[in-house]
Structures are given as C-alpha cells and as structure tokens.
Amino acid sequence: MKNHKSQTRIYLFTIGIIIAIMLISIYSGITNIDSVESREASGQVADNGFEPEPLNTDLLQPKKDIHTPVKKEAVVDKVEPDNTPQAPETTTSVEKTPETAPQVEKAPDKTETVVTKDPVVKPAKKKEPKPEPVKPSFEPTAHSGDFMSEIELNMRSGPSIDFPSIGVLKPYIKAVASNKATISGGSSEWYEITVNGVTGWASANYLKTYKADAKPKPKPVAKPKPAAKPAAKPAPAKSERTDGFNFKGHHFSLANFSGSGFVPQETNNVYRWTDLPTHYLVEKVSPAGRVIRQVGVGDTVVVDGQSYTVTHIESGIPNDSEAGRKLFKHDAAITIQTCDNTKGPNGKSDVTYWWASKK
C-alpha cells in the first residue's frame, strides 16, 4: 500500500515539472517576439543589412476624396423554432454574379414595328367591273321546221352571241324549230330549236334542212391483203414413156440405193433398194415425192416396161424395226415407200407404203 502511494506521488511530481517547463518556454517565446517588434518599430532591425528609410507620414493620412469601400456582410434572419410542427424549410442559394459575366442581349420583340422615314402609302387600285354587254331585244315569230347542223353548234338562251350557251347541237341530229327572230337590222337570223328536251337559239347561218341520210357513211377500211404464197414448183411434165419409173403420165429415172440413211433429195430419180430389189424409195421433197401421193388404189405404175396395179396403201407407219416386216403384209410384186410429215416416238418420220401386183 505504501509503495502504491509513493509511486503516485512520483508521478504527480513528474507531471508538475513538465508543466512548469512548458510554461517557462511559452513565456520566453512571447518575450522574444515583443523584443523583435520593439526593435523593428525603433528602426534597429532592417532587411539585407540596410538601414530603414524614414516613413512618410503624409501617405498614411486618408484623403478626403477617396472612399474606402466598406464590405457589407450578409444579414441572415434567424428563425427561432417554436413548438408548432412545420414543414422543412427550403433554402434557396443565390450565387453572386461575377462582375465579368457576359452581357445577354435582349431578343428583338416580334411585335416591334419598324417605321421608315416618311412612309408613302399608295392607295390600292380598284378594279372597275367590266360592263355587261347589252343584250339585244327581239320579238320572236312562230316558225316550224326540222333542221340540222354539219358541225357542233352552240344553243344559246337568246338569239345573239351575247347570250350564254345552254347546250350543243351535235352534227346531223334532228332539231325541231318553233320560233324565228331577226337581229341587227335583219342581217342575223336565229331559230329557236328543241333537241332532246333542251330548247335554245341557234344561228340560221349554220342550220340546214334535216335529211335522214345526210350523215356521210364511213369509208370501209380496206383489209390487208394476205401475203402471197410462194409459187409451187411445177410438177414434172407428163410422159407416155415406159422405161424407168412411170405413173400418172410422169416419168422418173431409176437409180440404186443400198443400206440405210437418207435418200438423196432434189433429184429426178426413184431409187431401187438393192437390199430388196422389188422395193422402191421416193424422197418426200424430190420431184417424184411431190406427185407420188396422186397414185391411188387401182392406178397403174410402169417400171422398166412392166405394168403393176396398186392394191393397198397405208400411211403413218412408224419407221422402226417392225416397218420392214410390214412390207410382206400383202402379197405384192413391188412396194413403194415415201416419208410422211409426222414423226414417231423415236423422232423419225413415219412412212407410207404402196403395194402393187402385176397386171
């Protein structure tokens, strides 16, 4: 217990010494500052080792015409709180506009009226109405008759061009007249006519007595002529010869053809097929092909002086492997073949056969 009290006393003693040292240091600093200020005031201390110049006391006196601006402090009203509950106060902060703020030009007023010097207002010219034409007076007299016009003719409300048009009389249409009027000293005559329920006045200069057949008939339009067909090649001249191949008075030379393929065209020949010498080939576009179809059943064909009578004819035979067998379909001494204008499924032209027997 005694040790504890001793330690407390030592602690307090130490604190007291520290406080005393701090007070002494503070007092010494204040004394030094006062000493320096008094020396500067007396002119004993100067910067850079130069003696200070004597002060001009006149400069320290305020002039009468110089006003020292006094800074005004903003006054803020303090609102004492009361016991009455209030809504939170809204504080509006107002920023001070700097002196160098840019000037804002005022927008020109749209309603501003610019008045020029000595304005001159010219009065508007008034349009003078055109005088209406003086419509002539007339006294109609009864007149009957049927009229027509060859052109489109205006029908007016009165017997003069000064009256407005109320309709048009079409060419060659019947118009029935009921009255007549003479204008301008008898030089202009008008008829009051009625067409399709419309009654008006038309000039007599353009009216003629109505004729039902007066309307000209339209000219018939000439039909274009069909294009001329190319002239057919003349058939070979008829002959009574017996050599070669002959029928219907036509004579053709005989030539040989072997194998398969196309028979020569545009020749005056009929070809004997060497694979079957009793079978004769006639090219469709040759001179013989253009007349061979004149041969009918019962006609005579003369080959190298021997006469044959045609017994059967058959067209549209497909030109395939079966066509050769059909040559022996009938008991014939000779057979004749030519091509048709039609084609079979294989793309080849169909054929026509003639069967003929000896006389």
* 136 pLDDT more than 80: no
Report pTM: 0.36
Q: Check whether 148 has a pLDDT greater than 90.
A: yes
Which residues on neighbouring strands pair with residue 174, listed in sequence order?
none
285, 350: one domain: yes
The verdict on residue 283 lying in a domain is yes
Same domain flag for 197 and 288: no
Output the six-digit token pair for 176. 């029935």
- In this prediction, residue 225 carries a pLDDT of 78
183 and 269 together in one domain? no
In whole angstroms, give the CA distance from residue 221 to residue 332. 60
Q: Please name the residue that has the structure tokens 């217990």.
A: 1
Same structural domain for residues 288 and 340?
yes
pLDDT for 70-79, tens place per residue? Answer: 444 433 334 4
For residue 300, the tally of other CB atoms under 10 A from its CB is 14
Q: Classify residue 110: in a domain, yes or no.
A: no
The per-residue pLDDT for range 84-123, each reduced to its tens digit, is 444 444 444 444 444 444 444 444 454 444 444 454 556 6
108, part of any domain:
no
Please check the confidence at residue 69 and state whether its pLDDT lies above 70: no
Q: Could you tell me if residue 117 is inside a domain? A: no
Residue 201: give its domain's CATH number: 2.30.30.40
Long-range contacts of 200-205 (CB under 8 A, 24+ apart): 200/155, 200/156, 200/157, 200/165, 200/166, 200/167, 201/155, 201/156, 201/157, 201/158, 201/159, 201/160, 201/163, 202/147, 202/149, 202/153, 202/154, 202/155, 202/156, 202/169, 202/175, 203/153, 204/180
Residue 251, phi then psi, degrees to nearest 5: -120, 135
Q: Assess whether 205 and 302 both reside in one domain.
A: no
Among 164, 192, 209, give the residue marking a domain's end: 209
Same domain? 194 vs 268: no
Q: Is residue 185 part of a domain?
A: yes
SS3 call for 127: coil
Q: Which domain holds residue 282?
A: 245-358
- The count of structural domains within the chain is 2
Cα(297)–Cα(356) distance, integer angstroms:
9
Whether residue 303 lies inside any domain: the answer is yes
CATH of the domain at 303: 2.40.260.10
Same domain, 252 and 351: yes
Query: Where would I find the H helices in the chain?
Result: 2-41
At residue 8, φ and ψ (nearest 5 deg) are -65, -40
353 and 252 fall within a common domain: yes
Contact by Cβ (8 Å): 180, 189: yes
